[in-house]
A and B are shown apart, each in its own frame.
Chain A
Amino acid sequence: MKETLLEVKNLKKHFQTNKGLLHAVDGVNFEIKKGETLGIVGESGCGKSTTGRVVLRLLEATEGEILFEGTDIRQFNNKQLRDVRKEMQIVFQDPFASLNPRLSLSEIIGEPFEIFNMYKPKEREEKVIELMELVGLSQRLINAYPHELDGGRRQRVGIARALALNPKFIVCDEPVSALDVSIQAQILNLMQDLQERLGLTYMFISHDLSVVKHISNRIAVMYLGKVVEITTSSEVFKNPLHPYTKALLSAIPIPKIGQKRERIILKGDVPSPINPPKGCRFAGRCPYVMDKCRQQDPELIDLGSDHSVACHLVNK
């Protein structure tokens, strides 16, 4: 049995807005084992990015526990938090917006060393070159600026920066969404190679189910601030149980001919997370909705064999 690296218990993040309380993340539980990848999927506004940020304390949680190697980092003071940040890093979605346009690659990748006061200038440069090699960036680019690079290379810079301090855990927030498919495949392979070589643990956030399926060991499906289903990556696709997961899967256009699939077309849009209705969040769009669903919020229940679902239909 592998050790658990990160465990999140009843995590909540609410934002005060003019229109009322926005429940971005509303009672999320999951754990990630060492060396594994947990994929988080869901549509815009389901709270997947917020979850990623709250886990790193880039946003402060409203409630809940974030256990990293068994200790709750929500209790950490600034000094402790700074130290634990060496272990926990993030790769952002938009490689065009997440790199400072006025810094060269050596400054961007070397900045973590600067912040933690590590290495002398000469050594620092060697380290930067090492990191660039690791992510497949040519050494001649060391003094280049982000605008000189295409999207794929920029994302490699973002990955090199995240790896600089030798972290154990990386939150990948839609790292390949802004890239063309041929480049996307290169970056996915790089991330898998790095995971094997360095024993990294990933929390991989994406709206693209085929990408998540490809890279994850386990997958959590989120809807409106809640995890509705969490299980192994193959089980999600072979045996999806939550009606939302089923609809989501059936909605993906598959690049193959002659595969007749029954498509579940959901009506309407994702409702607003501001003052969400009581009961199941999905009730308004669910094809199997029952009276109970509008009254009582279903809990995420473990069905055994590493498969948990939050649905009254399944958990009778």
Chain B
Amino acid sequence: MSETILNIKSLKVEYNTQEGSVKAVDNLSFSLNKGETLGLVGETGAGKTTTALSIMQLVPNPPGKIVDGEIYFNGINLLNQKNDEMRKIRGNKISMIFQDPMTSLNPVMTVGSQIAETIMLHQKFSKKRAAEKAEEMLDLVGIPKNRAGEYPHQFSGGMRQRVGIAMALSCNPELLISDEPTTALDVTIQAQVLELMKKLKEQFKTSMLLITHDLGVVAEVCDKVAIMYAGKVVEFADVHTLFTKPKHPYTKGLFNSIPSLDEEVDRLKPIKGTMPDPTNLPRGCSFHPRCPYAQEICKVQEPDITELEDGTKVSCLIYQGLVSDGK
């Protein structure tokens, strides 16, 4: 049995807006084992980034607030940590790669000194040793050492994302959170970055939480997958089970929405309707207005999490035997 590194229990995060309180993350639970990569998948507004920011304790407050729940990292509840303790963890034991390599670097600092800053802060290295280590990190992600003295604008998008990765890895984190690390990149550059992340994962045995909306990326790098919809995890499974036997109607809908490269289909089978308004989520199961199998009961009863024989955890009344899936 492998060790758990991250365990989130019934996390609730709300944002207070003029239109009312938004439940960005609602009763979310999942866990991640050491050395594994978990893909957190969902569409805009599903609560993926909020979940990541909660782990880092970076949810902007106000308007955001962690209302309830526990986040255990190596057995310690992060939500009970004081600010200065959290600061020692953040960037050191848990670090994050952000989506947009254009805006997540400081434009007035050279990339070398940005990486060295993290190292000096956490590892008590001298300035000189930190600078050397920064160069080593750049080398590791395939950027020539002699470019450490250049500024972010002198790098292309793919290279900036590598700088972000170098920075995130510079203190050998135990957990790496990547928020859509390749979304802003072209496919050939995305392939380079994914290849690099896979290599580094093997080399350093880092556990990773990968946030993405791209199921292709998930198939490539993840061991486990959590599908999120409207602030909840609706399906959790290992990657093989999820891709061969998706259970939740939303997961199935997602697969049917992606045009396939090797099959000819005349029309896609999209999920009807749109994401619900987060200030006014439907009662019962929040997916029911878009679900092809929805019955009256789905409008009133919120589904529990059901664990199936193959290990999938799914939140749908079909699997509680209360609704027929039409077969």
A interface residues (Cβ-Cβ under 8 A, vs B): 43-44, 150-153, 180-186, 188-189, 192, 207, 209-211, 213-215, 234, 237, 247-258, 263, 265-266, 269-270
Residues of chain B with a CB closer than 8 A to A257's CB = 219, 239-240, 243-244
A-B contact pairs, 18 of them (CB 8 A): A43-B189, A182-B43, A182-B253, A182-B257, A183-B270, A184-B257, A189-B268, A209-B261, A248-B187, A251-B191, A253-B194, A256-B219, A258-B240, A263-B191, A265-B191, A265-B195, A269-B158, A269-B159
Q: Which secondary structure dominates where chain A touches chain B?
A: helix
CB pair A253 B43 closer than 8 Å: no
CA distance A153 to B217 in the complex (A): 27
Residues of chain A with a CB closer than 8 A to B214's CB = 253, 255
Checking A44, A152, A253, A258 against B186 with a beta-carbon cut-off of 8 angstroms, the contacting residue is: A44
Q: Determine how close the nearest CB of chain B comes to the CB of A271; give it in whole angstroms.
A: 10
Checking A182, A215, A256 against B254 with a beta-carbon cut-off of 8 angstroms, the contacting residue is: A182
Residues of chain A with a CB closer than 8 A to B244's CB = 257
CA distance A207 to B183 in the complex (A): 12
CA distance A214 to B186 in the complex (A): 19
CA distance A251 to B194 in the complex (A): 10
Residues of chain A with a CB closer than 8 A to B188's CB = 43, 247-248, 251, 265-266
CB pair B186 A266 closer than 8 Å: no
Best-buried of B192, B214, B217, B218 by chain A (most CB within 10 Å): B192
CB pair B243 A181 closer than 8 Å: no
CA distance A182 to B188 in the complex (A): 24
CA distance A71 to B254 in the complex (A): 44
B259 contacts partner chain A, Cβ-Cβ < 8 Å: yes
- 3 smallest beta-carbon distances between A and B, as pairs: A253-B216, A185-B270, A214-B259
CA distance A258 to B244 in the complex (A): 10
Best-buried of A182, A263, A265 by chain B (most CB within 10 Å): A182
Q: Determine how close the nearest CB of chain A comes to the CB of B161; give it in whole angstroms.
A: 12
Interface extent on B, as a size class?
35 or more
B44 contacts partner chain A, Cβ-Cβ < 8 Å: yes
B256 contacts partner chain A, Cβ-Cβ < 8 Å: yes
B18 contacts partner chain A, Cβ-Cβ < 8 Å: no
B108 contacts partner chain A, Cβ-Cβ < 8 Å: no
Residues of chain B with a CB closer than 8 A to A265's CB = 188, 191-192, 195
CB pair A255 B218 closer than 8 Å: yes
Residues of chain A with a CB closer than 8 A to B257's CB = 181-182, 184-185
B309 contacts partner chain A, Cβ-Cβ < 8 Å: no
Contact with A along B258-283 (1 / 0, CB 8 A): 11111011111111101100000000
Q: Beyond A213-B261, A255-B258, A266-B188, is A185–B215 a contact (Cβ under 8 Å)?
A: no
CB pair A254 B216 closer than 8 Å: yes
Residues of chain A with a CB closer than 8 A to B267's CB = 189, 192
CA distance A116 to B242 in the complex (A): 54
CB pair B243 A253 closer than 8 Å: no
Q: Determine how close the nearest CB of chain A comes to the CB of B198; give it in whole angstroms.
A: 11
B220 contacts partner chain A, Cβ-Cβ < 8 Å: yes
Residues of chain A with a CB closer than 8 A to B264's CB = 234
Q: Beyond A209-B261, A265-B192, is A255–B243 a contact (Cβ under 8 Å)?
A: yes
CA distance A248 to B268 in the complex (A): 23
B255 contacts partner chain A, Cβ-Cβ < 8 Å: yes
B190 contacts partner chain A, Cβ-Cβ < 8 Å: yes
CA distance A8 to B203 in the complex (A): 51
CA distance A152 to B271 in the complex (A): 12
B213 contacts partner chain A, Cβ-Cβ < 8 Å: yes
CA distance A237 to B262 in the complex (A): 8
Best-buried of B243, B265, B267, B268 by chain A (most CB within 10 Å): B268
Residues of chain B with a CB closer than 8 A to A181's CB = 43, 213, 254, 257-258
Residues of chain B with a CB closer than 8 A to A211's CB = 259
CB pair A252 B261 closer than 8 Å: yes
CA distance A84 to B90 in the complex (A): 59
CB pair B213 A237 closer than 8 Å: no
User: Which residue of chain A has its CB nearest to the CB of B265?
Assistant: A214
Interface residues of B in 149-169 (CB under 8 A from A): 156-159
CB pair B274 A183 closer than 8 Å: yes
Residues of chain B with a CB closer than 8 A to A151's CB = 44
CB pair B268 A180 closer than 8 Å: no
Residues of chain B with a CB closer than 8 A to A213's CB = 259, 261
Q: Beyond A150-B274, A248-B188, A255-B219, is A188–B158 a contact (Cβ under 8 Å)?
A: no
Q: Determine how close the nearest CB of chain A comes to the CB of B245; give it in whole angstroms.
A: 11
Residues of chain B with a CB closer than 8 A to A207's CB = 186-187
CB pair A266 B253 closer than 8 Å: no
Q: Beyond A234-B264, A253-B214, A257-B244, is A182–B192 a contact (Cβ under 8 Å)?
A: no
**New A-B contacts (11) at CB < 8 Å, excluding given A182-B257, A184-B270, A266-B188:** A182-B271, A209-B187, A213-B261, A248-B187, A249-B261, A251-B188, A252-B216, A255-B218, A263-B191, A269-B156, A270-B186
Interface residues of B in 199-218 (CB under 8 A from A): 213-218
Q: Beyond A213-B261, A265-B195, is A185–B219 a contact (Cβ under 8 Å)?
A: no
CA distance A257 to B268 in the complex (A): 20
CA distance A210 to B259 in the complex (A): 6
CA distance A237 to B190 in the complex (A): 20
CB pair B275 A269 closer than 8 Å: no
Q: Determine how close the nearest CB of chain B comes to the CB of A93; give it in whole angstroms.
A: 15
Q: Determine how close the nearest CB of chain B comes to the CB of A237; give it in whole angstroms.
A: 6
Residues of chain B with a CB closer than 8 A to A186's CB = 270, 272
Residues of chain B with a CB closer than 8 A to A183's CB = 270, 274
Q: Determine how close the nearest CB of chain A comes to the CB of B7; give it in whole angstroms.
A: 26
Residues of chain A with a CB closer than 8 A to B254's CB = 181-182
CA distance A270 to B271 in the complex (A): 36
Q: Beyond A181-B213, A185-B269, is A253–B275 a contact (Cβ under 8 Å)?
A: no
CA distance A210 to B254 in the complex (A): 15
Residues of chain A with a CB closer than 8 A to B159's CB = 269
